[in-house]
Structure formats: C-alpha cells, structure tokens
Amino acid sequence: MSSTILHKSGLTPTANPSDQDALQALIHHPEGEEGDEKNPFLAALGERVRALRARRGMTRKALAQVADVSERHLANLEYGVGNASILVLLQVAGALQCSLGELIGDVTTSSPEWLMIRELLEQRDDATLQRVRIAIGEMLGTGGGNAALSPRIALIGLRGAGKSTLGQMLAEDLGFPFVELSREIEKFAGCSVSEIQALYGVNAYRRYERRALEEAIQIYPEAVIATPGGLVSDAATFNELLAHCTTVWLQADPEDHMKRVTAQGDLRPMAASKEAMEDLKGILHGRAAFYSKAQYKLDTSAQPLGPTFNALRDMVRKVLQLPV
C-alpha cells in the first residue's frame, strides 16, 4: 500500500479504512487556515528532500516510485505544505539512502560527542571544515584528502561532460590504461547499470561502484579513470577517490550536457520527465559543491573538442611533471 501525506488543503488520505485510525495517530495537523505562512520546519524539511533528491540524481517521479509515495504528496512535502507521517518520512529516507536523522536535519544530536564536535565546527568556513575532514581521514586511516601528484587521474562530473571521450584521448596520450568505471561495475554485476538499478536497487549499485573503484585503485598504479556522475553522492566512495587519485572536474553548460547525452541516445535519469532541463539543472546544483572538491576543473563548453583536450593534456602533464 502506498503511504500518504495529509496536508492543509484537506485532501483525504488514500489509505484503507482499517488504516485510518493509525494514520490519524501518525499525522499532526498544522495549526492555521489555508494561506497561512509555511511552517518553518516543514519548509526546511522540504528543502532538504529536494537537495538530497538532486544529489542522488533522481527526478521527483523516480523518488516517488522508489519510496512508494504518491508523486503529488511528495510534491507537497518538498514545497513545505505536506505534513508527512513518520512512515512516509521513513520511506523517503530509505529511497534517498540517508538516515531519518539526516532527512530531519538533526543527526548530530545523536550522542554527547556528536554535540560537542558539532559545537566546535559550527560557524566555521568551508576551507576550515575541509582541513578538519582531511585531518580526520588521516587520523582514522580512511583518506579524504586529495592525493598529491597521483598518477591516477580521475575525471568527475555529470554525464555528458566529456569524461569518456576526453578520458580515452588523455589515456592514449599518457600511455596509461583507461578505466571507465561504469563498465567495471557492469563486469562485477554481470548486467548493465540500468539492470542493476532495476533489479537490485540504487543501494546495490553504490556497493558495486565502491568495489569497482577499490579494485581499480589496487590494480592500476597509474590510469585515467572516468567516473559515474553520481559517484559523489556516496561520501565514503568519494573520500576513497579523493585520497587515491588526482581529480579533475569536467564542467559543462546544462545545454551541452543535455545535447551530448541526447546524442548518445541516453536520457537517464531525466527519462520520462516533462521538465528534463530543469531536472538536469537541479542535479547539477545539488552536486556542484561535491564536484568542486576536485583539485582541478576544466570547462568543456568553452572550446571545441581539440582545444579542450589540449588544455586537459597540458594541465595533467604539468601536474604529473611530464613534458608538455
């Protein structure tokens, strides 16, 4: 049975009659009449849901399907007008691969140590937080900092940025193996990426992704690695990448992303969406802060392919202290 959200407009939940009492016990009716200002907590909750959805690269329709929640009710939740039951929030959190605490925005209250650490980090700028993250990674042995002069060159960015095309060209120029991580994931799973997600779900795909990256790092002391666009969505996998590879963010204008992906005959994850460009822009916005953790970046929309490759080649050769 699909869970529901009861909201201010007075829509009746589509639950079975036997479930009505349970739903009423789980749903709190907000005070005020229609047209009142949004409840700040509900508005902030909606913003977090949208941000997490964009980070995962999911359309609203896709999230609604995975969470088994009505798309209309999910829209109400995202716009801060749907007062969701705890069961709906659990389903949405599960579909977004995050804890309920992260969804609600209070995960750092889970223990005294969390509270004390949070207090130390509050109001710090992003550069300070990055140094703390790297220091913690080094202390715990989990990495998290950018590898200095690593001959593993990892290209990150949204699909359509040019990672495969430029990555192959760069690998040939350097004489390095070219590793397209999506193909390695498919080898592990024995089926295509779309089949992995359809048959086993996004969480299973992320496990294959982490395993493929770890093996590539172990096997190849030097390589050019084209990464899936959503790899940055998993913090542990992204930390692994940053710790063992020299990273380059390939940026492109949304229109170029769409044009290139369409030319490849692939619209994932924008397929079946009437607002594909808006979805793509939302994904870019949600991931930009993570992509920006790369050591270097290159705009692949600024010039044609030839000059863009030359710029990437010169950048990487200088980093690796090779003749340009």
Residues at the annotated binding site? 160-165, 206, 229, 268, 287, 303
Token pair 């949070």: residue: 118
Pick from 4, 69, 70, 79: which is nearest to 39 by CA?
79
The rounded distance, in Å, linking the Cα atoms of 14 and 126 is 44
How is 1-20 classified by DSSP, letter by letter? --B-EEETT-PPP---GGGH
The rounded distance, in Å, linking the Cα atoms of 105 and 43 is 12
Query: Taking every pair of C-alpha atoms in the chain, what is the biggest distance, in angstroms?
Result: 74
The rounded distance, in Å, linking the Cα atoms of 59 and 273 is 8
**Residue 230 gets which letter from DSSP?**
G
Token pair 């009746």: residue: 12
Using alpha carbons, list the distances in angstroms from residue 165 to 72, 172, 248, 254.
39, 11, 14, 18
Pairing of strands 5-7, 82-84: antiparallel
Contact between residue 34 and residue 8 where contact means Cβ atoms under 8 Å apart:
yes
The rounded distance, in Å, linking the Cα atoms of 211 and 231 is 12
Contact between residue 13 and residue 20 where contact means Cβ atoms under 8 Å apart:
yes
**Residue 30 gets which letter from DSSP?**
P
Contact between residue 29 and residue 83 where contact means Cβ atoms under 8 Å apart:
yes
Using alpha carbons, list the distances in angstroms from residue 214 to 84, 145, 285.
39, 16, 28
Q: Which amino acid is at 189?
A: A
> Which residues lie below 8 Å from residue 173, measured CB to CB, with a gap of 6+?
313
Known binding-site residues for ATP equal: 160-165, 268, 303
Known binding-site residues for substrate equal: 206, 229, 287
Known binding-site residues for Mg(2+) equal: 164
